[in-house]
Amino acid sequence: MCGRFVSASPPDELARYFGAEPPTGEPLAANYNVAPTTEVYAVVEEHTPPDRRPDGAADDGAPHRRLERFRWGLVPPWAEDLRAGARMINARMETVATRNAFRSAFRRRRCIVPADGFYEWTTVPGRKQRQPWYIHRPDGEPYAFAGLWELWRPGHDNGPWVRTCTVLTAAANPVMARIHDRMPVVLPPGTWERWLDPDLHDADELLHLLQPTPASLVAFHAVSTDVNRVANRGPHLLDEVPGVALDGPTS
């Protein structure tokens, strides 16, 4: 499960890091507490996307890698409304190739969701509130979460296109397993080109790209329960809470 993450790096820096064209328009504000249905950045490699083509126009040739804005929570094309996305912020690696909501996007519309880190919670014996933890790379580099994206249109194809995305999850590595039994799938740089290739549709090859995240890429520390409130989005959420030990049952 990945229900909250941090997206604070400037878009120009993210575009350079992933070798992508930067986004256009007003940049998204740094958000240290990204919640479901929030707008986020994702890296895509595609031919001219359907929402940018004149009606009936074909692709324009070679795909281009871009950093784009998406609504977090994938909404399948057949969904009645955007509320479906709140239940689809994550896609399990084990079933992504076969589940109806994700299998088409898995074969044709994949992305990378950059994240400075993410949050998970553990239970604390004798305390009602769970303890939040901030998980991040020890070297300070952003995570490259494997993701999928979709286009959804309201009003029987007469409304504007909405671009949505989801984050793939897998079994946790030994370090992360101390906090939670699952974690986002992190793509190493050597897999980015194939994962983003819009002309790659082979499910077996795609699944082979989704390897366990090395334990060396995971560090964590306790943070304030301020992160529990979606309205709190500032950098203080990353501050370590001293004296909190990781013990007792985890969730």
**Single-letter amino acid, residue 139:** D
Burial state string for 30-60 with b = 16 or more CB within 10 A and e = fewer than 16: ebbbbbbbbebbbbbbbeebeeeeeeeeeee
Phi-psi region of 185 (alpha: psi -120 to 50; beta: other; left: phi over 0): beta
In angstroms, rounded to a whole number, what is the distance separating the alpha carbons of residues 32 and 116? 9
CB 78 within 8 A of CB 34: no
Distance from C-alpha of 62 to C-alpha of 244, rounded to nearest angstrom = 52
> 25-28, long-range: CB within 8 Å, 24+ apart, which pairs?
25/69, 28/69
Q: Which of 5, 49, 53 is nearest to 166 (CA)?
A: 5
Catalytic residues: 2, 120
Contact in structure between 73 and 37 (CB atoms under 8 Å): yes
